[in-house]
Structure 1
């Protein structure tokens, strides 16, 4: 990883390999709006590529070394394999290749940077901060790893000097940023395919917090053991101001339960009600973090509280896909046991006394191997748990690692084929129930298919 930020004006024409990805397109959007010549390619023709083309980027569908053109800099994310023809050609030609995070860091120069890190909740919390600031009158630049309906896009260049970005720890690339405010939602063992051990994960968050300058601040969740421990370590060093948010008695931004579906935050003895449109305790905690960021940036607390009411969720974060026959269908990107548990808890709060049915697709062989028992325990919160085959993403199969590692530990759930999944989950659901599709792979495509079938049954 690089230690110093590359000046944006020195990059020349920038070519993005995999420009259709939500993270890559976010950086490309900001560069285009800043006047940087941008080109890019992706294996599929995705809607965001048409947006970028309309904004002035040169876009190609399919990977070919000729797509590089006269690029002076190439940007590639962790998902791009070494044998990608464009990446291979760039390296052979000696063209500098930046990780997506390095390219994003180049766009942050001269800004007050807010980065949101954590094993879970990054996209939602970053989205909340961006929506809050925009609604409160600030006009931040933002880059988010999800599309946000309330913003219309996943990234935009604002007029103010505030830059809000999601900081991804999965490959250690969050160490490329220079934040003024760093939010840590939680710290848990994950991405062990990269880190190897839980201790290495914790150490990386220590390094992340160490990026803060003397005038910076760490906002850590007091309700999460890992984030709380991080806050303690940072505070003991005395170099960085630390604020904790959550329901704990010693939280500086304390989240209060005001009854069913209602919460408030108390800061320095003053209580501010929050009118949230998103369910779940995890979302209330994310809102408390966003509120804390806003106060640090000088936003009036009452304006901050009111602005949070405009947040309607991030794409694939307990996103309502539709309903029919009295059954509501949601989709969630959850791919770690803690996230699955949070998504199912949110579904329970929405379903009331009705049932919750989940269609889950494990993501990565290594993650399934490490957390099979924890996934099963989380999925048992549902009334019905149907499990698809593992989505491999960037990994090759691991002998002996299949979805049965999870299903063998479920008390009420079983493996289901891709062909039978929609039919099976619809057979389980009755009027008033909630269906939830969960995972970071292509399970998201099942939601619309389920809604379509429900509409057909209704008709």
Structure 2
């Protein structure tokens, strides 16, 4: 099946109000595909979907998929009346990963994955690629404050995608570029053991690096073990360990972060200013600058400082006395 095959289909998305599924629903609608969806309750994404003229039914029942040609469902959906009805009537039904795979096929795709920092890195990379003139479509796992929603749509052949390893979605993609930020002991409900998760990631990275450029953080203990690979397509970045790209922090304050950026021990950017706080965000930006440099694209401090962040990712609410208040997802 190709993405173009969906043009003539009536598509229904189960769990459409989810942050990942809602973005894909909007993508389908903007590509003139007849799309509807359902979910168990309304949330802030429902309003955004309605603004794109996507019908969202609240409550799951078999009648929701009447006359539908193909069903896509969230990985959070294990079983419900609509999925049961689709199976009963042999209506083609696929998980979110299949739809993402169809969207990315034949596109120049940059995928961001890891245990932490995916959403922030995806939205900032997309923002800086726009500033560099590539103008990609961006599919993020959070509301990007620069655009007011979790997807930025263009007619460009470039796509920036946040991909999660939690349900194996990542491993079905074949990106041109992959950024792997870090690996933590999580999703063991799916992988059963930490070793199984690490083995899956290692196998995937070594497989796609035969054709794709893979950027890994060597300050992460597990990812650093992959940097010993002789594959020229595995590129490293870090702040502390040996790597192709490196950052050296000069100042971390309550308003911004400042660092120098190096390529093969040569300083290529001095006094990079970022509105994002904390060393973890410097590390995310270092990954982005590594990719931009590898693509022969330049960016400047002005573009970085115009980035407005992602909703509920260290959003500053205000200050009371000496105490600064932030709104952060803090889900892990």
Q: 1:225 aligns with which of 210, 221, 226?
A: 221
- 8 Å contact kept, 1:220–1:245: yes
- Relative to the length of structure 1, the TM-score reads 0.67
Structure 2: state its 5+ residue gaps. none
Residue 51, structure 1, aligned to residue 43, structure 2: no
- 8 Å contact kept, 2:29–2:35: yes
Which residue is equivalent to 2:327? Answer: 331
- 8 Å contact kept, 1:115–1:167: yes
- Relative to the length of structure 2, the TM-score reads 0.91
Residue 252, structure 1, aligned to residue 244, structure 2: yes
Query: Counterparts of 1:108 and 1:258 in 2: how far apart (Å)?
Result: 38
Residue 103 (structure 1) shift = 0.7
- 8 Å contact kept, 2:274–2:301: no
Which residue is equivalent to 1:277? Answer: 275
Deviations 1:80-130 (A, max 9, x none): 131x11111111111122111211111112211111111111111111111
Residue 35, structure 1, aligned to residue 32, structure 2: yes
SS of the aligned residue for 1:106 comes to helix
Query: Counterparts of 1:189 and 1:120 in 2: how far apart (Å)?
Result: 11
**Cα pair distance change 1:197/1:39, threshold 3 Å:** same
Q: 1:319 aligns with which of 304, 315, 318?
A: 315
- 8 Å contact kept, 1:218–1:231: no
Structure with the larger helix share: 1
Query: Counterparts of 2:62 and 2:295 in 1: how far apart (Å)?
Result: 45
Deviations 1:290-329 (A, max 9, x none): 11122233312xx255422222322222222455577532
SS of the aligned residue for 2:313 comes to coil
Query: Counterparts of 2:162 and 2:207 in 1: how far apart (Å)?
Result: 15
Which residue is equivalent to 1:456? Answer: none
Which residue is equivalent to 2:121? Answer: 125
Q: 1:107 aligns with which of 96, 103, 106?
A: 103
Structure with the larger strand share: 2
SS of the aligned residue for 2:119 comes to helix
Higher Cα radius of gyration: 1
SS of the aligned residue for 1:203 comes to helix
**Cα pair distance change 1:72/1:297, threshold 3 Å:** farther
Residues 162-181 of structure 1 correspond to what in structure 2 (within 5 A)? Answer: 162-181=158-177
Which residue is equivalent to 1:362? Answer: none
Residue 251 (structure 1) shift = 1.7
Which residue is equivalent to 1:144? Answer: 140
Which residue is equivalent to 1:8? Answer: 3
Which residue is equivalent to 1:241? Answer: 233
Residue 85, structure 1, aligned to residue 77, structure 2: no
Residue 188, structure 1, aligned to residue 184, structure 2: yes
Residues 68-79 of structure 1 correspond to what in structure 2 (within 5 A)? Answer: 68-79=65-76
Residue 185 (structure 1) shift = 0.4
Query: Counterparts of 2:319 and 2:83 in 1: how far apart (Å)?
Result: 43
Deviations 1:228-279 (A, max 9, x none): 12333xx23x3x5111111135221111112343212112413313211011
**Cα pair distance change 1:323/1:88, threshold 3 Å:** farther
Deviations 1:154-189 (A, max 9, x none): 112223211111110111221111111011101122
Q: 2:284 aligns with which of 283, 286, 294?
A: 286
Query: Counterparts of 1:226 and 1:158 in 2: how far apart (Å)?
Result: 36
**Cα pair distance change 1:156/1:329, threshold 3 Å:** same
Query: Counterparts of 1:74 and 1:325 in 2: how far apart (Å)?
Result: 53
Query: Counterparts of 2:132 and 2:262 in 1: how far apart (Å)?
Result: 19
Residue 216, structure 1, aligned to residue 212, structure 2: yes
Which residue is equivalent to 1:299? Answer: 297
**Cα pair distance change 1:173/1:185, threshold 3 Å:** same
Q: What is the Cα-based RMSD across aligned positions, in Å?
A: 2.0
Query: Counterparts of 1:31 and 1:76 in 2: how far apart (Å)?
Result: 14
Which residue is equivalent to 1:407? Answer: none
- 8 Å contact kept, 2:209–2:233: no
